[in-house]
Homo-oligomer: A and B are copies of this chain.
Amino acid sequence: MRINENYRNIQDSYLFSTVGKKVAAYAASHPDARIIRLGIGDVTRPLCPAVIDALHRAVSEMGTPEGFHGYIPSEQGYPFLREAVAGHYAERGVTLSPEEIFISDGAKSDLGNLLDLFDADNTVLIPDPVYPAYVDANVMAGRRVRYVDATPDNGFLPLPDADLDADLVYICSPNNPTGAVYDHAGLAAWVDYALRRGALLLFDAAYEAFVSDPALPRTIYEVEGARSCAIEICSLSKTAGFTGTRCGYTIVPRELKFGGMSLNAMWLRRQSTKFNGVPYIVQRAAEAVFTPEGWSQCMESIDYYRENARIIAGTLDELGIFYTGGIHSPYIWLRCPGGLDSWAFFDLLLEKANVVGTPGAGFGVNGEGFFRLTAFGQRESTREAMQRFADLARTL
């Protein structure tokens, strides 16, 4: 049996494991240190009451002969949830048919599995810095990966130029790790590029719920023409604290046709062959997110994280440190104080301030000299972390 040789070419990503090891080593040798973690992008607030109630109800159903639910009637998701997602898009003026909505167990699965639909002989364009899974999933299939530079000069929001040669383009806005958000004109430039070249955009909208300016797009389909060139992948992980509950959705518009084939039909075929749907109880939980009560409870948590982001950003403003994000995003992406490189600042912040962040260099070449903090902590520890951060930065 011959293995997939492309696996030999995957670079080992040691980012989060190295962070974890360094923190564990420090904690072991400094047992009294009160370490505050603003590193990993995981939520900390519990599931909201509307979601918990929906889960308990659905669990109780599953224990009775009348209420029991077996195989999900369609791998694409229960109609009740696809209609709820359609309603969410309708609030942004975007009309979707439930047949265009695929319920998933999260953005990461779909971002990886969607690649099944595309030939290995495609050029993939990925911004640098970037969420590492985009790259690995393509290297596994032997696709050519090119990078487009996200730098302070373009506000970490690169735009296409006509020379750019790409078939598949990843866009994440609000961005992980930089927190930068494309405006309507920025996304329209990418849609225009894709339509002219026959490229496909893979739009990762996982952080859309953090956008508070109504003028900023929360879905690529707010841009005219996007239905003919973009798949959107979204998740309830950050919107509703579902990182451990696992539910997302992917939009594959009917207009998407390549080589005479409908991507919607291909994705349905892929999912009905290699996926069996999201648990009934989780789909009921997700449905509750989109009720008025559930949504307002989820937005309370988002507001809580937003206030953390304001605390982080406020400290950086006071210190005069360059950063992006933190307004429409749970991530703050900052230039390391004192001209330090990413890992040097990581070590210093851990050792002198007992605060953990993520070194920007771990997200790509252009991340060197930058650092990511997240707003997903507790309020008081965020405040204290930024006090310690400021005390350290003033010495650099």
Name A residues whose Cβ lies closer than 8 Å to a Cβ of B.
1-5, 7-8, 10, 40, 42-47, 49, 52, 55-56, 59-60, 62-65, 67-72, 105-106, 108-109, 111-113, 116-119, 121-122, 133, 136-137, 140, 167-168, 198-200, 241, 243-246, 258-259, 261, 263, 266, 269-270, 273-282
A40: which B residues are within 8 A, CB to CB? Answer: 71
Number of copies: 2
Q: Which of A122, A137, A199, A245 has the most CB atoms of chain B within a 10 A radius of its CB?
A: A245
Q: Which of B3, B65, B200 contacts A117 (CB 8 A)?
A: B3
Min CB–CB distance A44 → chain B (angstroms): 7
Q: Which of B8, B71, B274, B279 contacts A112 (CB 8 A)?
A: B274
Min CB–CB distance A379 → chain B (angstroms): 12
Question: Which B residue's beta carbon lies closest to that of A5?
Answer: B119
Min CB–CB distance A300 → chain B (angstroms): 14
A68 touching B47, Cβ below 8 Å: yes
How many angstroms between the C-alpha atoms of A38 and B140 in the bound complex? 42
Min CB–CB distance A120 → chain B (angstroms): 8
Q: Which of B3, B42, B241 contacts A118 (CB 8 A)?
A: B3
If A140-B273, A269-B10 touch, whether A199 touches B1 (CB-CB below 8 Å) is yes
B46 touching A55, Cβ below 8 Å: no
If A40-B71, A62-B55, A70-B42 touch, whether A109 touches B275 (CB-CB below 8 Å) is yes
A246 touching B278, Cβ below 8 Å: yes
If A2-B121, A62-B46 touch, whether A243 touches B274 (CB-CB below 8 Å) is no
A44: which B residues are within 8 A, CB to CB? Answer: 65, 68, 70
Question: Which B residue's beta carbon lies closest to that of A66?
Answer: B46
B276 touching A105, Cβ below 8 Å: yes
Q: Can you report 28 A-B residue pairs in the complex whose CB atoms are below 8 A from each other?
A: A1-B118, A1-B168, A2-B118, A3-B118, A3-B119, A4-B118, A44-B65, A44-B70, A55-B62, A56-B56, A56-B59, A56-B60, A70-B243, A71-B244, A105-B275, A108-B273, A108-B274, A108-B275, A108-B276, A109-B274, A111-B274, A112-B274, A112-B275, A113-B113, A116-B140, A133-B273, A136-B269, A281-B281
B45 touching A71, Cβ below 8 Å: no
A261 touching B140, Cβ below 8 Å: no
Question: Which B residue's beta carbon lies closest to that of A54?
Answer: B59
A112 touching B273, Cβ below 8 Å: yes
